Amino acid sequence: MPRTLPFDGEIITSRQNRRIVELMKLDDRRTREKNGTFRFDGVKLLCEALCRGVELDSLFVRVGTAEKLEQRMRELYGYSLSDVSCPIFGVEDNLFEKISQENAPEGVITVAKYIDKSHNFIIIYKEDDSRVRKDAPVILLESVRDPLNVGAIIRSAAALGVGHLIMSADCADIYHPRTLRAAMGPLFSLPITRVEDLPGTVRALRAQGRRVYAAALDDTAIRLGSPEMAMEKGSVPPCAVIGNEGHGLSEAVIQACDRSVYIPMEADTESLNAGVAAALIMWELCKS
């Protein structure tokens, strides 16, 4: 039976194939950053990327389930592989199982171009970036190293209405497989910027009239959701900075903020996971 899907070139059967070798190198962060590309598995993420206009580099499709993949794409979003403008490579079934990062592969691996921006300093709001909402809160992350936490924060930020996520350069890679799985589609729609100078970024946001809270417990900290916090709310949406899972925020970042805010908790309990703490703070900032 002839195939309805046109592949670019011969069906790939060897792990030593040049394209497979280059694909597997994307498991390494340094290679991703050098190439400006990243990989992800699954039909839903592929369709989300197509919806958001993410620039695709190439597609690797398991030959034996290509037609089922097309059917799934149509069911989810009304897409087909003919809507993909990048090269599509067929991969022999057993080889595909070995190169997939999923326990139950759906039959497609996508390579896409980087979507975030990187700056040495905050020039973000001087740029014409239509994705960045000026009327929504901004969340900043300092040294959040767990990919699952970063992914969860991205997903929560998009769901709750955060306008922009700004990350210090030493945060977990947003293109790490675990970050991608935790974030899902919102990764492609939420404006994300990496900066080298996070304290300077905080000061720049304050200069634009935004109030910036440090998620930290100190002598000046106010309770999240307190009347005092509501009274301080100005006409410009506020910002909050969430710190490292184990060490919290650096003193330099805390000093750069307007003041600190803490999440009330029961006595003798462990501190909250960074992803959970960020979600609670984002809810408070975005709820009105």
Query: Between β-strands 138-141 and 88-91, what pairing exists: parallel, antiparallel or unpaired?
Result: unpaired
> Do residues 139 and 157 touch, judged by C-beta distance below 8 A?
yes
Query: Between β-strands 239-242 and 212-215, what pairing exists: parallel, antiparallel or unpaired?
Result: parallel
Q: Do 206 and 253 reside in the same domain of the chain? A: yes
Using the 3D structure, point to which of 86, 113, 140 is the last residue of a domain: 113
* Residue 176 in domain: yes
Order of strands across the sheet with 212-215? Answer: 117-119, 192-195, 164-168, 138-141, 239-242, 212-215, 259-262, 222-223
Tell me the chain's radius of gyration from C-alpha atoms.
Answer: 21
CATH of the domain at 156: 3.40.1280.10
Q: Rounded CA gap, 58 and 97, in Å?
A: 18
Quick: pLDDT tens for 37-81. Answer: 999 999 999 999 999 999 999 999 999 999 999 999 999 899 989
Q: Do 124 and 229 reside in the same domain of the chain? A: yes
Total count of domains within the chain: 2
Q: Do 72 and 190 reside in the same domain of the chain? A: no
What does 147-191 look like in DSSP terms, one character per residue? HHHHHHHHHHHHHHT--EEEEETTSPPTTSHHHHHHH-GGGGTS-
The encoded tokens of residue 241 equal 């900075």
Using the 3D structure, point to which of 92, 113, 134 is the last residue of a domain: 113
Quick: pLDDT tens for 176-193. Answer: 999 999 998 888 988 888
Q: Do 176 and 104 reside in the same domain of the chain? A: no
CATH of the domain at 43: 3.30.1330.30
**Crossing angle (nearest 10°) for helices 274-286 and 147-160:** 10
Q: Do 138 and 276 reside in the same domain of the chain? A: yes
The encoded tokens of residue 203 equal 């000061």
Residues 6+ apart with CB under 8 A from 201: 121, 122, 140, 166, 195
Q: Do 222 and 159 reside in the same domain of the chain? A: yes
Q: Do 169 and 138 reside in the same domain of the chain? A: yes
Quick: pLDDT tens for 95-152. Answer: 999 999 998 899 999 999 998 654 443 444 444 445 556 789 999 999 999 999 999 9
Query: pTM of the entire structure?
Result: 0.87
Q: Rounded CA gap, 50 and 56, in Å?
A: 8
> Cβ of 79: how many Cβ atoms within 10 Å?
18
Domain of 65 in residue numbering reads as 18-113
* Residue 168 in domain: yes
Q: Do 57 and 154 reside in the same domain of the chain? A: no
Q: Is 258 helix (H, G, I), strand (E, B) or coil?
A: coil
